[in-house]
Homo-oligomer: A and B are copies of this chain.
């Protein structure tokens, strides 16, 4: 049975940066399926990458090795780490990209990648994805033990993104836009567990949306709506249109959610 290595980067598809990672991996481990998770996110957008990883990794087979390269500090003194949970491996620069993973309770081992035996022979200062992360992933897929790559390190020594948690005060919940997808869907960090009623009023920028809907097509074409997205968080959308172009929001902007028929205080 083939191992899976899943790649998530900000490399795009026009320069061969993703392709060469795969060449390096296959050169070390032939019996592996390589899956692109995403590559076209905005360069250096660690927050978005972290969010997307956190919401997708659990759909992959046990043992999947995630190679995560959004790495503006490449070549500097920042650490390079392997994180092993009970089910998965994550390889990444220590820059906050793995924040959500590191907050899980089932972490087993964290290693600082230092043993050059598993790197390419020649190391550039600008492309550790190719020279370090990809070969380490391939050796992991070959079965080389995680403790071979370097010393164990403590969770507390790692860098975490300071992600804003949603806040509830009386009947208003305030959240943050954490991602805007290709369809223009605005994804917030307000979990469905926080939403007490479908009778809601959502406010952001100069826009107001009333009510929580079940499907895009429950409103007319080009109408705005609020919906629980596929990962269980509140999303704001436009049926067959791009809400973000209409309302001009950005990742990091605040949104406010008022519960209209809930009077807990």
Footprint of B on A, CB under 8 Å? 1-2, 4, 6, 8, 11-20, 22-24, 26-27, 30-31, 33-41, 43-44, 52-53, 55-57, 59-61, 64, 72-76, 124-127, 130-131, 179, 181-183, 214-218, 227-232, 235, 239-240
Contacts and interface: CB of A to CB of B under 8 A. Distances in A.
A75 B35 contact: no
Contacts of A36: 13, 18-19, 22
A26 B13 CA distance: 23
B19 A38 contact: yes
B37 A26 contact: no
B61 A182 contact: no
Contacts of A30: 1-2, 33, 61
Contact of A216 (B23, B35, B126): B126
A17 B6 CA distance: 13
A75 to B, nearest CB: 3
**This chain's copy number in the assembly:** 3
A56 to B, nearest CB: 5
A47 B110 CA distance: 44
Given A23-B64, A59-B20, A59-B130, A72 B214 contact: no
A127 B187 CA distance: 14
A18 B13 CA distance: 13
Nearest to A57: B23
A23 B59 contact: yes
Contacts of A59: 20, 23-24, 27, 130
B35 A22 contact: yes
Contacts of A34: 35
Nearest to A40: B14
What 9 A-B pairs come out closest when comparing CB atoms? A127-B230, A75-B215, A19-B37, A23-B60, A14-B40, A12-B182, A124-B230, A23-B59, A15-B181
B12 A40 contact: yes
A17 B37 CA distance: 8
Contacts of A23: 4, 6, 35, 37, 56-57, 59-61, 64
A35 B61 contact: no
A20 B214 CA distance: 22
A196 to B, nearest CB: 19
